[in-house]
Amino acid sequence: MADRPEVRRARLWHVPRLARILWSFTRTTPWLPRVRTKGDDLKMMTRITRQGWVRLARDAKGPAAFIARDGQVIHALYVHPRARRQGLGRRLLDDAKARADRLELWTLQANREARAFYAAQGFAEAGRSDGRGNDEYLPDIRMVWLRRGDTADER
C-alpha cells in the first residue's frame, strides 16, 4: 500500500463495497443495535454518494474506508477490518481537515476506540447527549476539531 493512500470521491458503483465496509462494523458489533435494514443502508449510501458527501480510501483490494461529510459535519467514518490500523482513517480525516477550518461529529460513548482515535486526531469533546438524537438511542459525545488555536467550547 502507498505511504499516503489516495482519497477520492466515491461514485455510485462503489456503493455495494461501501455498504460492506459499513456492515463490517454495524453488523458485527455486539453492543450496537441494528436499526436499519441492509436495503435501507444501501438507499442511504446511494443518496449520500449522489450528494457528493462520500470520499473513500483504497488498499490493494479496493475501497477499504470511507468518510461521509456534509460541510463541517462528519456523519460517518468506517474502515474495513482488513485495513484497520494502516492509516486510512487518519488519511480520510486529513483530507477533510484540508477542506474545512472546523469539523464536528458525534460518536457513541460506548465506542471507546473511536473516541480515542478522534482525540488523537485533534478532536475535543464539546458535549454529550443521552442518545435521543441518534438512530441507536445510545448515549453519545459531540467532538469538534478546529484549525486555529480556538477551543471547542468557544463555538
pLDDT value at position 148?
75
The dihedrals phi and psi of 75, each to the nearest 5 degrees, come to -95, -25
44, 84: one domain: yes
Examine the domain organization and report whether 106 and 77 are in the same domain: no
User: What residues make up the domain containing 107?
Assistant: 101-155
Task: Give the number of other CB atoms < 10 A from CB of residue 109.
Answer: 14
**pTM value?**
0.90
Give the whole-angstrom CA distance, residue 12 versus residue 139: 32
What would the grid cell of residue 51 be? 450528494
Which of 89, 105, 93, 113 lies closest to 32, judged by CA?
Answer: 113
* Same-domain check for residues 52 and 117: no
Residues of the chain with pLDDT under 50: 1-2, 154-155
Residues 106 and 95 in one domain: no
